Amino acid sequence: MKVSIEDVKRLKNLTGVGLTDAKKALEEADGDFDKALEAMRKKGLTKAEKRGEREARAGMVGTYNHDGRIGVLVEVNCETDFVARTDGFTDLVKDIAMHIAAASPEFLSVEDIPAEVRDAKKAEFSEKAKSEGKPEKMLEGIVEGMLKKHFAEKCLLSQPFVKNPDITVAELVKDGNAKMGENIVVRRFSRIALGEIS
């Protein structure tokens, strides 16, 4: 089936792949643009995962200020200054900073939770499960489930993205990886709210 050059260019621009790959995807999807886009996104995300091994030291420190009451600083890294200066990257950093202001995460990821914080919560949830009369042999699984749910709400990368709760912040970053063709990493953040003592 013949595909239009306009569709090929549009697919190339949306996914960041070459013209040949875009044309091939459209031909494989029998000219169905949405189907081709979905196939390219899947391939792009697979490539993005491989990119995760590459060094990301360029990037920017983004800021967000909400009514002078909440301030956020976030460092997001990519591989090159070229990508760091693009609108797509700048918008991604702004979105992440705004999300931090709204969702108030305490940790970057599950790996960043200090052992003593996790242990204290585990002891608390164990006591709770025992007091509710949960069966002894099921306790460990129940407590692990409670911990997973509790910390998913506290970790930036596992929180549902405020502008699109169907995806997590980690998936938002991975999508940025696919679109920009570089490894993108949220390195650290700081959130200050007026009157709150940390």
pLDDT tens across 158-188, in order? 999 999 999 999 999 999 988 888 889 999 9
**Predicted local confidence at residue 192, as pLDDT:** 93
DSSP letter (8 states) at residue 20: H
CATH hierarchy code of domain 5-51: 1.10.8.10
**Predicted local confidence at residue 42, as pLDDT:** 66
| Alpha carbon distances (Å) from 174 to 12, 25, 55, 136, 184 | 18, 21, 15, 40, 8
- 124 by Cβ neighbours in 10 Å (0-12 / 13-18 / 19+) ranks as middle
**What global pTM score does this model have?**
0.67
CATH 3.30.479.20 fits 58-108+155-193, yes or no: yes
Residue type, position 87, single letter:
D
- Boundaries of CATH 1.10.286 in the chain? 114-154
- Boundaries of CATH 3.30.479.20 in the chain? 58-108+155-193
- Boundaries of CATH 1.10.8.10 in the chain? 5-51
Q: Using 50, 70 and 90 to split pLDDT, how confident is the model at 77?
A: very high
Class for the domain spanning 114-154: mainly alpha
Which has more confidence, 16 or 121? 121
* CB atoms closer than 10 angstroms to residue 51: 18
* CB atoms closer than 10 angstroms to residue 193: 14
Residues 132, 136, 137, 143: is their CA dihedral positive or negative?
positive
- 132-164: pLDDT as tens digits: 877 777 888 888 888 888 888 899 999 999 999
